[in-house]
Structures are given as structure tokens and as C-alpha cells.
């Protein structure tokens, strides 16, 4: 019910079209890559999903992370622009709930993008590696891989929302987010400790990764989510105390 | 019976006392005029009553409920317009009220009623960013009135309205206790404005409550204190001036 309220709040902000276009752009990336470099990839003996992820995921993850940074900024900018947040705080709801609902909305929008990207990967795998894998195992593989990437995207989403909730000005969280994303792109994906940086986690992929590394990142992602949520709760309490 | 009572309510900001131990007694079903010059602490007090800012001292009870224990319960009963109207500019007036309606769990009719009360029905589907200042102020009032809350906190509700609008809103505020049984606290820095709406007034200066009581008692006291009592505006100014002098000329 309240998620519906959050959906209503972003009406006419262009956030839905942004995510749709973002998803299409990210989905086009493997399609174009395969169109022009299919022969090179076909020579590889790796499973199709691994080939596609290795070739395209870094670029797609960057676009996805940029989308969630923009989303977080706009979700809170709408609250701060005309003091709507003050009205919300004078209603019988908790600010922490507002944060969680925004996070849920962001996750749904992100999921929507991942579905488009997953469809693009499935199409590419069928079109260019058709003989190598049956449809259902391929679909399961795509689902698992994108599920893993989606989970590792959550800490970056939460951290972006935390920054946006702390700043009334749109440009501050946007700037912080973009700087963090640029930093994340400089971190080598095979360095597990540096990759724990929330904005670097979305660059990780399941295909071709050892089971213990996967468990390590999933655990780290879950811990980061809890820590960021607790930090937001603490921040809201402190802000209220000093208001 | 008092709907709102504060006891030594205070708010300090790094040494500066914005509100200094005020004890208000707001009767149920009355329009209470909260009067004071700019920076007197009116908005700060109202924000404390809404739980938007945390008091540094004292306590308050609203309709028998104590803050901070019953904060959410208190907010269910209070409609507010603080400082400036708050809204989502990308949404229409109706959509803004719909959000509040859903949060408060009210019927759909409550939105129509609130729009009619402030005469915004004609502009209900226009994005708020295209509203004039007066229309935004009316929307802010509608947001406070939606669902007929038993308590209304209105901070300078006639700001930005033209003379006709001021008269309409003033008449509306005055009628609220009778129509909906509401208790209204309305703040202003103009006594002339307050005397046309309020039954009881509280005068605030530099965070101190200088007077609380009916307008009749204010006039009586003014005579005793030697202030001009025939013109309320002059009396108010004289009271503020005298208080400022007492504080060493601080304005």
C-alpha cells in the first residue's frame, strides 16, 4: 500500500522512463557487442553466460549503478524540493519507513532493468550460441547470475539512498555517488577486499567465480546492507535530536 | 478542558534560547492566537508540538497524550501548516492530498471536501508547481484540513493570500471549532489579524510567554500596565517594546 504511495510520488519525474531507457541501453550493449564481435566470442569454449558476462558485465554494471545513484537522488530530491519531507514527518509515519519504502521502490525499478538485461543475455545466448545450451538450463543460469548481481547491487543502492536522505541538495549526493562510482571502476574485480566497497560490489559476477568467493561476497553484501540500514536509523535519530 | 498543555517547554540552539520555558494552556474547541514578532519562537514551538524538533526542556500533552511516548498517536490527530506549504511540485493538488489521505487511511471524500473548503476544486488537477503563491497556501491549508483533524496547527496561514483570500481563510478558520469541533492554534505577527479569529491569545517575545488569556483580559491588563488599550496593535507593539527594553534593548 505504501509502496504505491512512493510510486505515486515519482509521477511525472521521468524516473520510470529513465529506468526503461537505461535498461534498453544496457540490454543493447551485449547485442551490439555480439553483432560485431560474434566470431571472436564463438571461438571460446566457455559456457555462453560466462562469455557474455565476461565481455559485457563491467559496462552494464556501471550503467546500472549510475541508474541507482540517479534514482536515489531523485527519490529524495522530490521530498526536499518543496519541503514535502516536513509534511511527511508531521504525519503518523516514521522516516525510517519512508527510507525502506524508497529502497523497495528502487529495488523494483532495478529488477525491471535486470529483467531487460536478462532477456538481452538470453537472446544473445540463443542467437549466437544456440547449439551449446538448452533453453531451460540457460534460463536458470541467467536467473541465477542476475539474482546474484541484483543482490550485490543492494548495498550501493542503500548507500546512495543514505547519502540522498542526508542532503537536501540534489547535486551533493549525485556528486558523491558519481565519485564513488568512478573510484569503484578503478578497483580490480579480482581483488576481493577492495571489491567490498559497496559501489564496487555490483561489478562482481557469478559466472566463472569460485563457490567460496561467491559465499564471501554474498555474506559481505548482506552485512553491508544491515550496516547501512543501521547507519540510516542512527542518522535519523541524530538528525532529529539536533534539529 | 485543555486540548494542549505545555510545561516549561524550551528549545536551545548552541546557547541561544529560541523558546524559554513556556507553559501554554490551549482550550478544547477554541481558536488560539499565537502572537509574536518574527523570531519570537512561534514556529519553533509549533514544530516541537509536531515532534519535528526535539525540545531541550519541558514537556507537553496533547489530548491527554504525552510526547515523545505517543508521538505517532498525537500526529494522527493533528493537521498542520508550518512556515510554508509543503508539497510535491510534480503532482497535482488532488494527488498531493491523495498521498496524505492514504497515509491517514481516510475516505476518498475527504480529499474532495478539503479541496472544496479551500476553494481549490477548480485547480485540483493542475501540477502544484504551476500554482500561484496563494493557491499553494490554500493547498497547504487543505493538507492540514484533510480528514477534519481535531487539532490544527496553522503557522501564518494567510501568508501570500490576497485580501479576498485572507478574508475567506480567516472566516474558514473561525468557523472550524463550530463546524468540526476542532481546536485551532493559529500564529501570526499581526494582532489585528489574530483578534479577528481567536478567542484566546498567547503573546510570545524572544521565546518568553508575555501573556496568555482572552482578548478581554488582555485589554484589562493593558490598562493596568499602562499600555494603550483602545488600539490592540499599539498595545501589542508597546508590550513588545517594553519587553525588549527590559532585556537590554534586544530587538
Per the omega criterion (within 30 degrees of 0), is the bond before B232 cis? no
Integer CA distances (angstroms), A124 to A48, A52, A102, A121, A149, in order: 9, 8, 33, 5, 19
Given this model, what pLDDT does residue A2 score?
A: 80
A239 touching chain B per CB within 8 A: no
Q: Do B95 and A240 touch (CB under 8 A)?
A: no
pTM of this structure: 0.91
Q: Do the domain assignments include residue A40?
A: yes
Topology (CATH) of B2-246: Rossmann fold (3.40.50)
With 0-12 CB in 10 A as exposed, 13-18 as middle and 19+ as buried, what is B188?
A: buried
Question: What single DSSP character describes residue A132?
Answer: G
- Residue with cell string 493533528: B78
Domain count, chain A: 1
Residue A1 has pLDDT above 60, yes or no: no
Q: Do A8 and B99 touch (CB under 8 A)?
A: yes
Q: Do B91 and A8 touch (CB under 8 A)?
A: yes
Which among B53, B86, B91 has the least Cβ separation from residue A11? Answer: B91
pLDDT in tens, B168-219: 999 999 999 999 999 999 998 888 888 889 989 999 999 999 999 998 898 8
Given this model, what pLDDT does residue B250 score?
A: 54
Which among B83, B90, B103 has the least Cβ separation from residue A5? Answer: B103
What does the alpha-carbon distance between residue B92 and residue B130 come to, in Å, rounded to a whole number? 9
What does the alpha-carbon distance between residue A203 and residue A195 come to, in Å, rounded to a whole number? 8
What does the alpha-carbon distance between residue A221 and residue A68 come to, in Å, rounded to a whole number? 16
pLDDT in tens, A12-70: 999 999 999 999 999 999 999 999 999 999 888 899 999 999 999 999 999 999 999 99
CB neighbour list of residue B225: distance below 8 Å, 6 or more residues apart = B239, B242
Residues in A 54-93 with any Cβ partner in B closer than 8 A? 78, 81-93
Q: Do B87 and A1 touch (CB under 8 A)?
A: no
Give the residue on A whose Cα is nearest the Cα of B127.
A12
Note whether ipTM > 0.85 here: yes
What does the alpha-carbon distance between residue B118 and residue B131 come to, in Å, rounded to a whole number? 14
Per-domain boundaries in chain B: 2-246
Q: What percent of chain A has pLDDT over 70?
A: 100
CB pairs under 8 A between A and B: 78
Q: Do B72 and A92 touch (CB under 8 A)?
A: yes
What does the alpha-carbon distance between residue B233 and residue B223 come to, in Å, rounded to a whole number? 14
Q: Do B88 and A89 touch (CB under 8 A)?
A: no
Which among A82, A89, A90 has the least Cβ separation from residue B88? Answer: A82
Q: To 10 degrees, what angle do helices A171-186 and A135-166 make?
A: 130
Which among B53, B82, B88 has the least Cβ separation from residue A9? Answer: B88
Q: Do A84 and B143 touch (CB under 8 A)?
A: no
Other CB atoms within 10 Å distance of the CB of residue B17: 16
Mean pLDDT to the nearest integer, A93-109: 95
Q: Do the domain assignments include residue A30?
A: yes
Integer CA distances (angstroms), A152 to A101, A125, B82, B137, B240, in order: 19, 23, 41, 45, 61
- Residue with cell string 529560541: B18
pLDDT in tens, A125-181: 999 998 777 889 999 999 999 999 999 999 999 999 999 999 989 999 999 999 999
Which among A12, A86, A241 has the least Cβ separation from residue B86? Answer: A86
Distance from CA of A96 to the nearest CA of B (A): 13
Q: Do the domain assignments include residue A2?
A: no
Q: Do the domain assignments include residue A204?
A: yes
Q: Do A90 and B78 touch (CB under 8 A)?
A: yes
Mean pLDDT to the nearest integer, A177-202: 94
Amino acid at each position: 500500500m505504501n509502496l504505491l504511495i512512493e510510486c505515486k510520488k515519482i509521477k511525472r519525474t521521468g524516473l520510470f522512463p529513465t529506468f526503461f531507457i537505461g535498461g534498453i541501453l544496457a540490454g543493447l550493449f551485449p547485442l551490439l557487442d555480439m553483432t560485431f564481435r560474434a566470431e571472436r566470442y564463438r571461438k571460446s569454449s566457455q559456457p555462453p553466460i560466462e562469455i557474455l558476462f565476461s565481455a559485457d558485465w563491467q559496462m552494464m554494471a556501471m550503467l546500472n549503478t549510475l541508474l541507482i545513484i540517479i534514482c536515489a537522488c531523485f527519490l529524495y530530491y522530490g521530498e526536499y524540493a518543496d519541503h514535502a519531507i516536513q509534511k511527511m514527518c508531521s504525519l503518523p509515519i516514521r522516516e525510517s519507513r519512508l527510507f525502506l519504502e524508497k529502497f523497495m521502490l528502487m529495488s523494483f525499478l532495478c529488477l525491471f532493468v535486470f529483467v531487460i538485461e536478462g532477456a538481452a543475455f538470453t537472446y544473445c545466448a540463443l542467437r549466437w550460441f544456440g547449439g551449446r545450451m538448452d533453453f531451460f538450463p540457460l534460463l536458470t543460469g541467467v536467473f541465477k547470475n542476475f539474482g546474484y548481481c541484483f543482490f550485490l547491487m543492494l548495498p550501493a543502492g542503500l548507500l546512495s539512498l543514505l547519502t540522498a536522505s542526508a542532503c537536501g541538495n540534489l547535486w551533493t549526493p549525485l556528486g558523491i555517488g558519481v565519485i564513488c562510482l568512478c573510484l569503484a571502476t578503478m578497483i580490480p574485480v579480482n581483488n576481493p577486499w577492495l571489491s567490498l566497497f559497496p559501489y564496487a560490489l555490483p561489478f562482481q559476477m557469478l559466472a566463472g567465480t569460485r563457490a567460496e568467493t561467491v559465499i564471501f561476497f554474498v555474506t559481505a553484501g548482506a552485512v553491508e546492507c544491515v550496516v547501512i540500514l543501521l547507519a540510516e536509523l542512527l542518522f535519523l535519530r541524530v538528525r532529529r535530536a539536533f534539529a | 478542558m485543555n486540548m494542549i498543555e505545555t510545561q516549561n517547554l524550551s528549545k536551545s540552539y548552541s546557547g541561544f534560547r529560541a523558546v524559554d520555558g513556556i507553559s501554554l494552556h490551549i482550550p478544547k474547541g477554541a481558536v488560539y492566537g499565537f502572537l509574536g514578532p518574527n523570531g519570537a519562537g512561534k514556529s519553533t514551538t509549533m514544530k516541537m508540538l509536531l515532534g519535528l524538533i526535539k525540545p531541550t526542556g519541558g514537556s507537553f500533552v496533547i489530548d491527554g497524550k504525552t510526547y515523545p511516548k505517543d508521538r505517532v498517536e498525537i500526529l494522527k490527530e493533528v493537521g498542520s501548516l508550518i512556515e510554508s506549504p509543503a508539497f510535491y511540485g510534480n503532482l497535482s493538488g488532488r494527488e498531493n492530498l491523495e498521498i496524505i489521505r492514504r497515509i491517514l487511511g481516510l475516505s476518498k471524500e475527504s480529499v474532495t471536501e478539503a479541496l472544496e473548503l479551500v476553494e481549490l476544486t477548480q485547480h485540483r488537477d493542475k501540477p502544484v508547481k504551476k500554482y500561484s503563491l496563494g493557491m499553494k497556501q490554500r493547498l497547504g491549508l487543505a493538507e492540514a484540513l484533510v480528514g477534519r483533524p481535531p487539532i490544527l496547527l496553522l503557522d501564518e496561514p494567510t501568508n501570500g493570500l490576497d485580501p479576498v483570500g485572507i478574508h475567506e481563510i480567516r472566516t474558514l478558520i473561525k468557523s472550524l471549532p463550530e463546524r468540526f469541533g476542532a481546536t485551532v492554534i493559529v500564529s501570526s505577527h499581526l494582532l489585528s489579524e489574530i483578534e479577528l479569529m481567536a478567542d484566546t491569545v498567547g503573546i510570545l517575545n524572544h521565546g518568553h510567554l508575555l501573556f496568555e488569556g482572552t482578548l478581554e483580559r488582555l485589554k484589562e491588563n493593558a490598562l493596568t500596565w499602562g499600555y494603550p488599550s483602545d488600539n490592540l496593535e499599539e498595545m501589542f507593539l508597546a508590550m513588545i517594546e517594553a519587553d525588549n527594553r527590559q532585556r537590554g534593548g534586544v530587538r
